[in-house]
Amino acid sequence: MSSFAKALSPAVREIRILCCQTGAASAGTRQFITSHYPTLKQHNPDLPILIRQAKGTPARVFARFERGQEKHVEVEGLSSLDVASRISQLLSSP
């Protein structure tokens, strides 16, 4: 949680979070969204943070950086804390 209590690098242009709205494997991702999204958005109000939920979608997080570079991490089956850790690693390595 504290890792998201600051503004992200200006190199981060967009964050997309994909998950299943009912699947057990996406439960940690959904919990991450409910607990960390407000803080993340509060400290980065102009950063687009897209949340896409669709039945059967594996939980993944994509980050788009400057010059169109894009990276992603798989967060399927992880706890909320593990999801936060993986996203922190993703956003710190453009």
Of all residues in the chain, what percent carry a pLDDT higher than 90? 84
Q: How far is 77 from 61, CA to CA, in rounded Å?
A: 13
Pick the CATH number of 9-57 from 3.30.1370.100, 3.30.1330.10, 3.40.50.300, 3.40.30.10: 3.40.30.10
Of all residues in the chain, what percent carry a pLDDT higher than 70? 96
For the chain, give every domain's residue range.
9-57
pLDDT digits (tens, 9 = 90+) for 15-34: 999 999 999 999 999 999 99
Mean pLDDT in residue range 45-57: 95
DSSP characters over 8-66: PPTTEEEEEEEE-SS-GGGHHHHHHHHHHHHHHHHH-TTS-EEEEE-TTPPPEEEEEEG
3-state secondary structure of 71: strand
Q: How far is 74 from 78, CA to CA, in rounded Å?
A: 9
pLDDT at 94: 64
- Show the tokens assigned to 80: 């909320």
- Phi and psi at 91, nearest 5°, equal -75, -20
pLDDT at 45: 93
pLDDT at 92: 87
